[in-house]
Homo-oligomer: A and B are copies of this chain.
């Protein structure tokens, strides 16, 4: 698991893997059936799976009050280790410390794991929201999730018995940290950059990615396969777009693609840091941070998620940011560029609003090849063509939603 050439996991020399296998798993599953059940949201389920596969090394379970508070306030757990976003489990009833509980997915109703409850505490949700999301507004999808949490937070070490439908639904794309580390080690990569994706890759993302390839040993295209907000392209379509792009426009020796099971929190800068933390666990030395990384609406400044890396204390986080400016095609540069490299005017640059893109894709309008590769656009056109008219306007949350890829450009 550990490899001296690769970056160490966060805060630990080895991955902390809490997922049981074989006989041990069978036995825990049997034991779990006799325990009181706690139903988890998709966010909590995703967090539990990450705990299981070592993606959240060095955590050994859901956070207690001291960790929760330290993380909210100073991004520091009680043991002094850096962590940017609370990883917590909520429940509507008080549970006595010492109780073993069975963790059940609310989405699939399957048993996901067990927890030895060590602490049961109540939180100031506004405190968490203000510190982590910078706002207490309900319009913020991350804030909304926190406010929807139940009254009590349960803390304690977990044992994980399932990765739910992710391995089956996403096949090879679903990747555990030990697997990505093995691949990077076999390829002899040391400097590995991670690209966070939750939307199809257009040429602006391809450019980000290729800058990273130019200056690294390899690129890890790491897609979120958990839940998104309404308006994002569903994972299956997005995966198809990205696979096609990688197949046709990347040197496959320089790229590894993987998926991870978290829900988006849209916490902007704090989530950018979380992205770097777990990418380090996956074996990456660098985290690409573009414009408005993990942001939503106008809650964060476009480069807040880059700047926050400079505010950490020495040694807080080994994985380094690879900050890239706002990217676009420029007709005078005759190529992709960013605000840092292009000296030309707005009128020379190609920008396309999310609305304009969706309209063009669903109505068969023209989208310039300088904006997106024709092969990617073809997949998106097919997806939009298959949507019913009312889905085109507003699509309900269910991991399957209509496209809002370039909303940020409009801002």
- Give A residues with C-beta under 8 Å from B: 210-211, 213-215, 248-252, 254, 322, 324-325, 333-343, 369-370
5 A-B contacts (beta carbon < 8 Å): A211-B211, A214-B325, A248-B343, A252-B343, A335-B335
A340–B213 Cα distance when bound, in Å, is 7
- Residues of B with C-beta under 8 A to A341: 210, 213-214, 250-251, 254
Chain B CB count within 10 A is highest, among A248, A337, A341, A343, for A341
Q: A249-B333, A340-B251 are in contact. Are A215 and B211 (CB under 8 A)?
A: yes
Chain B CB count within 10 A is highest, among A213, A250, A335, A337, for A335
Q: Which residue of B lies closest to A343 (CB)?
A: B251
Q: Which residue of B lies closest to A323 (CB)?
A: B215
- Residues of B with C-beta under 8 A to A211: 211, 214-215
A210–B343 Cα distance when bound, in Å, is 12
User: Is there contact, CB below 8 Å, between B214 and A249?
Assistant: no
Q: A215-B322, A322-B215 are in contact. Are A249 and B343 (CB under 8 A)?
A: yes
Closest-CB distance, A330 to chain B (whole angstroms): 10
- Residues of B with C-beta under 8 A to A254: 340-341
Q: Which residue of B lies closest to A322 (CB)?
A: B215
- Residues of B with C-beta under 8 A to A333: 249
A248–B333 Cα distance when bound, in Å, is 9
Closest-CB distance, A195 to chain B (whole angstroms): 13
User: Is there contact, CB below 8 Å, between B252 and A324?
Assistant: no
A341–B340 Cα distance when bound, in Å, is 21
A80–B341 Cα distance when bound, in Å, is 40
A342–B252 Cα distance when bound, in Å, is 10
User: Is there contact, CB below 8 Å, between B215 and A215?
Assistant: yes
Closest-CB distance, A10 to chain B (whole angstroms): 23
User: Is there contact, CB below 8 Å, between A250 and B335?
Assistant: no
Q: Which residue of B lies closest to A208 (CB)?
A: B214
- Residues of B with C-beta under 8 A to A338: 214
User: Is there contact, CB below 8 Å, between A342 and B251?
Assistant: yes
A11–B333 Cα distance when bound, in Å, is 40
Q: Which residue of B lies closest to A218 (CB)?
A: B340
Could you list 4 further interchain pairs (A-B, Cβ under 8 angstroms) beyond the known A210-B341, A250-B343?
A: A210-B337, A213-B341, A250-B341, A334-B370
Closest-CB distance, A286 to chain B (whole angstroms): 10
- Residues of B with C-beta under 8 A to A210: 337, 341
Closest-CB distance, A217 to chain B (whole angstroms): 9
Q: Select A214's contact among B252, B324, B335, beta carbons within 8 Å.
A: B324
- Residues of B with C-beta under 8 A to A248: 343
A322–B191 Cα distance when bound, in Å, is 12
Closest-CB distance, A357 to chain B (whole angstroms): 19
A233–B210 Cα distance when bound, in Å, is 32
A180–B325 Cα distance when bound, in Å, is 25
- Residues of B with C-beta under 8 A to A336: 335
Closest-CB distance, A311 to chain B (whole angstroms): 16
- Residues of B with C-beta under 8 A to A249: 333, 343
- Residues of B with C-beta under 8 A to A337: 210
A213–B333 Cα distance when bound, in Å, is 15
Q: A249-B333, A333-B249, A335-B335 are in contact. Are A214 and B340 (CB under 8 A)?
A: yes
A250–B332 Cα distance when bound, in Å, is 11
Closest-CB distance, A310 to chain B (whole angstroms): 10
A340–B322 Cα distance when bound, in Å, is 18
Closest-CB distance, A184 to chain B (whole angstroms): 16
